[in-house]
Chains A and B, each alone.
Chain A
């Protein structure tokens, strides 16, 4: 009866901001980011990236309630930088990393298509002859450059929804 509307899970409420920044009054150089309509998917990778930053003293996230569709991300840094800069850097580095995974996957697909035709495809090297992790030759992997983010504007779907 008082269940939230289903679309509230991914549509940003009227007048709400995607990210709210709250200064922590008790901690120096600490900001809590309330990110609307996001969950563990984004918050956990952000936390992971932020923790890799050498100037970060504290970074953690939580979902306050399963029916309130936002996450709280708290970041404290040293005085040499600010939480906002660190989060920005984290997002950019995530985009680089995913861009790289994406182009590597595309290359790998291309390699599969080139080596075999249609129908079920299996690569021999990971089959019976695969001798464990140590034998995995990572040096031959071809990587393309990280994709130009500007090209992604042509995606026609998802235009009118605020995830």
Chain B
């Protein structure tokens, strides 16, 4: 295998080759892969490509898949948030059953800083340090001001739709002062919880607790957290003329551009990031042997979309902190295990 191919995943017509890395001793002849920080610093790079209040896209270059995957797994499952965990149903005469309504309520993202709260163990009592109380008290009735013959339930009735904005925070203890700057509320106001008709009502008390995504998906702070490898299109032989047009049309717009030099139109790769690696180009006879599709094995394009509770850039730093803490705990536990095994002998 050619040296430059070592960190390329090769995408062929009917299969993908060179998928797993070989960066362990004896994996590649004469290659020193033992970790050293200087070498890592040389190859490692991180670049934020796009950042908005809800999502971030960044490139993580020069790390192993296991490192990137650990980061992704932690983003999804191990960053704590606050979510509705207990629903005390006082009255529910709507058509949505108690348990279904409780489940829907649980999935609402609640804008509260999880760092401000403690973990609630199964045997501990709710306090202002580990529980947020929200209340929902809605009754549907006929709108007397509606025009006669009105058929739109939103106008004909009041509270025909119950939205997340109707949740009321009930501060306990010193919570009102602690969260004066950022009162606790649902992240979005327009999430439909249930629908009611005149005479129906929902009254309940909701307790939010701290939890992590591996316990229940409602605690996950991300809508999605995923990565893909950077696609790479290698043009091995010049593609010119009408073939260049066809070549460009094989990729999503913006991936390939056509440059004209000395009256000859030639295809050139402009932005491989936009490629979906559809392999359309490999179906055409005229490009056989002229193009090679690969992916860069250690170039991860990370995309993290927050649910709105924690800003996306903070999610990434938090994920790295959680990983660091895991290592810390493992290190201390290993030292303890060694000590106790020495005592046994």
Contacts and interface: CB of A to CB of B under 8 A. Distances in A.
Contacts of A18: 329-330, 333, 336-337
B23 A88 contact: no
A131 B256 CA distance: 10
A44 interface: yes
Interface in B54-111: 58-64, 66-67, 69-70, 73-74, 77-78, 80
A121 interface: yes
A11 B47 CA distance: 36
B24 to A, nearest CB: 4
Contact of A9 (B215, B327, B334): B215
A136 B46 CA distance: 11
Nearest to A159: B118
Contacts of B44: 100-101, 104, 138, 141, 143
B94 to A, nearest CB: 28
A132 interface: yes
A94 B327 contact: yes
B317 A105 contact: yes
Contact of B67 (A10, A19, A48, A51): A48
Contacts of B23: 52
Contacts of A101: 44, 46, 60, 63, 67, 320
A122 B269 contact: no
Contacts of B47: 108, 123, 126, 136
Interface in A67-84: 84
A102 B320 CA distance: 6
Contacts of B42: 138
A119 to B, nearest CB: 8
Nearest to A6: B215
Contacts of B80: 157-158
Interface string A7-20: 10111000001111
Contacts of A5: 122
Interface string B3-40: 00000000000000000000111000000011101001
B299 A133 contact: yes
A28 interface: no
B207 to A, nearest CB: 16
Contacts of B299: 133
Interface of B: 23-25, 33-35, 37, 40-52, 58-64, 66-67, 69-70, 73-74, 77-78, 80, 114-115, 117-119, 121-122, 212, 214-216, 230, 232, 254, 269-273, 296, 299, 313, 316-317, 320-321, 323-331, 333-334, 336-338, 340-341
Which 5 pairs, one residue from A and one from B, show the smallest C-beta to C-beta distance? A18-B333, A51-B24, A48-B66, A19-B337, A19-B333
